[in-house]
Amino acid sequence: MVKWSDSYLGRLRQVVGNRLLLVCGGRAIVEDNWGCILLQKRSDFKVWGLPGGGPEEGESIEQCLAREVYEETGLTVKRFEAVGFSSNPAIETVTYPNAIAFKTIF
CATH number of the domain to which 89 belongs? 3.90.79.10
Number of continuous H segments (helices) and E segments (strands) in the chain: 3, 7
- Residue ranges of the chain with pLDDT lower than 50? none
Look at residue 18 in the predicted model and tell me its pLDDT: 82
Look at residue 59 in the predicted model and tell me its pLDDT: 92
Look at residue 104 in the predicted model and tell me its pLDDT: 56
Phi-psi sector, 51: left (phi>0), alpha (psi -120 to 50), beta: beta
Q: Which residues form the domain of 60?
A: 4-105
The domain tally of the chain equals 1
CA distances from 68 to 2, 18, 58, 73, 88 (A): 11, 23, 15, 8, 22
